[in-house]
Amino acid sequence: MESLGSEASTHNRIGDRSTSDVVVRLRTKDGRDDWLYCHSNTLIENCKYFSDRLSENWPTCQIIDSRNCVEVYCEESDFDYHVTVVRLFYVIIDGPVDDMWHGVKNALGILQVAVKLGCPQIITACVNYLEAVPWEEGEEEEILKIIPCMGSEVEPVLARLQPVNPSSIVGIFLSAIQFATSSPPPSLNDLKASAQDQLDYMLTEDDDAPLLTADNEIKSEVNICIKRLFARLNGLLEAMLCEVVESVSEDGKMQSFQSLLSDLLWAYQILNKLEILRDFVNNWVDASDKIVKVVEKASPTTEVIETNLKVIEVASKVLEAIGYGTVILPTTKRLHMVKIWLPFVRIAKPLIDSITTNDDDDTVTLKVDGELWQSLESTFVTMVPALPSENQAEILTEWLANEHIQYPDLTEAFEIWCYRSKVAKRRLSSMGVNHDKTHAF
């Protein structure tokens, strides 16, 4: 930093009463009163307030001793900062002062006094320091409260907090989505997880609007990235289906499968926020047979049961999108999904529950979303009555004869089917519909 003050003042020392020609008297309303023995040339050169007070144009300049003592009133909380500012008139002239600010909070206090008294060189020094150093969260909030009210000369401090150009946001988003859907080495998994978290945050509407409003180009790029995920999934499923039972869980493929499922669960959230779930749902529907076969083929080890849970977490999201009409699918695909996932879920739940409720300290316990099973059951209860009556009857017949009748509980779907079936002829005939022709069709 450039030195403050002129060469003429380099021999002055604050507190040197033998050379002092002016006293700066710092006072507070609580009665604190400190006298600093200073030099008028140093004060005038470095501070507009003292320059005005010590000029002949100041209204009280003719009063005896008025130019030998300048009173400065301040709050108790700012007292030490005033002392520091006056001392800086003397010490800064000796060279750089990077180590003199003693942290962001102290620099902010000094800056406020420097702006109040009009000390341009100290203001510049404070701004340079605050621009360069890292801030903690509390310090950042304090800066946001103080700096905007202090004028243009301190605005550079806020450079790191300014809104970003939209094109820069898009660039970061696209780079992050490509990395977040890639398959990096294990050493980069934490970085990948962090990228996924930030992408989710960028699209989340909370107290602030989402950081990014996606256009068709962005949505298209996101879909391309998700298609790559499914391509890797299908490749892995094919490889696992070709292996013998024992090797499915032993060569790391099950762990890779889990990792892909985690990526897909995250991807679903992103696509849901972008309102582009159709391709994801259709890709999952197409892969469902293979997914179920791979998991059922493996021995029910803890790792495989963990994979079951991951599979169900993704499947529940897809089924929910289908069941509640977020993504519209033809009857054949909806029926196919119910026939695949209803048996899978009823078998998988007891296995997963056996681990989550195990009291053995040596057994790994799974963390299951408390609403997962209830949400999944509600989805099935919604999907079944939306199928043609004959398909409903087939599904309900199998459910009533199954040993796992307790979950999913399709009682509500059964009640709906019974009511509709009983009143069908009357309801349709009252509208002039030939029941026999309709049934044949």
Element (H, E) at 34: strand 33-38
DSSP codes joined into one string, 280-337? HHHHHHHHHHHHHHHHHHS---HHHHHHHHHHHHHHHHHHHHHHTTSS---HHHHHHH
Handedness of CA 58, 62, 68, 73 (dihedral sign): negative
Q: How far apart are CA 136 and CA 270, in angstroms?
A: 30
Higher pLDDT, 244 or 278: 278
Q: Tell me which of 161, 176, 201 is where a domain ends.
A: 161
pLDDT band at 302 (very low <50, low <70, confident <90, very high): confident
**263 and 136 belong to one structural domain:** no
**223 and 146 belong to one structural domain:** no
**118 and 230 belong to one structural domain:** no
pLDDT at 174 over 70: yes
- Residue 218 has, within 13 A of its CA and on its CB side, a CA count of 22
Q: What is the pLDDT of residue 250?
A: 60
**Location of structure tokens 């969260």:** 137
pLDDT band at 425 (very low <50, low <70, confident <90, very high): confident
Q: What is the pLDDT of residue 59?
A: 63
Q: What is the pLDDT of residue 157?
A: 93
Q: Is 192 inside any structural domain?
A: no
Q: What is the pLDDT of residue 65?
A: 53
**105 and 43 belong to one structural domain:** yes
Which residue, 163, 160, 169, is CA-closest to 212? 169
**297 and 368 belong to one structural domain:** yes
How many structural domains are present in the chain?
A: 2
Q: What is the pLDDT of residue 216?
A: 92
**296 and 377 belong to one structural domain:** yes
Q: What is the pLDDT of residue 320?
A: 97
Residue 332: partners with Cβ closer than 8 Å, 6 or more residues away: none
pLDDT at 333 over 60: yes
Q: What is the pLDDT of residue 203?
A: 94
**259 and 131 belong to one structural domain:** no
Please say whether the beta carbons of 55 and 75 come within 8 A: no
Q: What is the pLDDT of residue 137?
A: 92
Q: Tell me which of 127, 161, 195 is where a domain ends.
A: 161
The CATH number covering residue 107 comes to: 3.30.710.10
**265 and 143 belong to one structural domain:** no
Residue 209: partners with Cβ closer than 8 Å, 6 or more residues away: none
Query: Radius of gyration of the chain from Cα atoms?
Result: 37
Domain housing 104: 7-161
Q: What is the pLDDT of residue 69?
A: 87
Q: Is 97 inside any structural domain?
A: yes
Q: Is 238 inside any structural domain?
A: yes
Pick from 29-38, 83-92, 192-201 the range whose average pLDDT is largest.
192-201
Q: Is 283 inside any structural domain?
A: yes
Q: Is 227 inside any structural domain?
A: yes
**120 and 266 belong to one structural domain:** no
Q: Tell me which of 132, 161, 190 is where a domain ends.
A: 161
pLDDT at 98 over 70: no
pLDDT at 94 over 60: no
pLDDT at 274 over 70: yes
**390 and 275 belong to one structural domain:** yes
Please say whether the beta carbons of 331 and 392 come within 8 A: no
Which tens digit of pLDDT belongs to each residue from 342-370? 999 999 999 898 887 655 555 556 778 87
**267 and 409 belong to one structural domain:** yes
Q: How far apart are CA 396 and CA 384, in angstroms?
A: 9
Alpha helices (H) along 134-244: 137-146, 166-180, 189-203, 216-241
Mean pLDDT of 260-281: 96
Considering the chain, what is the average pLDDT of its residues? 87
**66 and 138 belong to one structural domain:** yes
* Percentage of residues in the chain having pLDDT higher than 70: 87
Please say whether the beta carbons of 51 and 22 come within 8 A: no
